[in-house]
Structure 1
Amino acid sequence: MTTRTATNNRADDEVFDFNLNAVQAESDLKPFVFLWASEDDPNRRLTMQHMESLDVWPLMAAADGGDAAAMAGIFREALGKKQWAQFRETPLPQYKLKALFAAYRKHSGASEGESVASSDS
């Protein structure tokens, strides 16, 4: 017995065109750790997941809001809910945010202006 769906007219045992399950990262997806002091902890370290390991769906949704929203979406996803809340508790000058984003992009191997969801990243 074969299984067919409205969007896939191939039987389960037929050849497929691309196996997304088999795709592996081309680089080490090492997390990015940075120091950002809080009022209570002068040595607070925050960890962001490697840019290429982030779920693209919330990133693409954030990008609809423009560059600033896209950057915030990246930080939100990379830090996770708990660390994002901690990160937001401390005032952050724009020049520091730009420097942090540049260092994170460099760590992740993304060039300036390159989309996070880009197939070249």
Structure 2
Amino acid sequence: MKDPAVAAMNAMPKYVASRTLRDPGWANTTVLGEDLTAEVGRVKAASEEETVVLGSGGLLGTLIEAGLVDEYRLLVVPLILGSGKRLFTDGMGPRALTLTATERTPSGVLINTYRCPAGGWGLGSPR
């Protein structure tokens, strides 16, 4: 019996941002071209579904700077590491966000959903 989660992942469209990968070898997977922000903008415009970025702070930073992020789902985990990579790096322009939902998991993780206002900046120009 096939796992329904695996079947769903195999069926949905997936996009990979890579400087080296040419053949992803996974069904319904497209490697994005050199002009990443244009490619992601095209993917967003062509779909009614939400586009989710997983596992790449560097990619996400590029998309934030290009104004391609409409919603953030930020998890606050009750753990102090003392160091690590920052999602919002020095030099990024300010952004006004509106909290639209908060969920608390049984382990105490807070899942906060924030929307960007129309235009995405809200607090001034990034330039």
Answer yes or no: same fold by TM over 0.5.
no
TM normalised by structure 1 equals 0.23
Larger-Rg structure: 1
TM normalised by structure 2 equals 0.22
Bigger strand share: 2
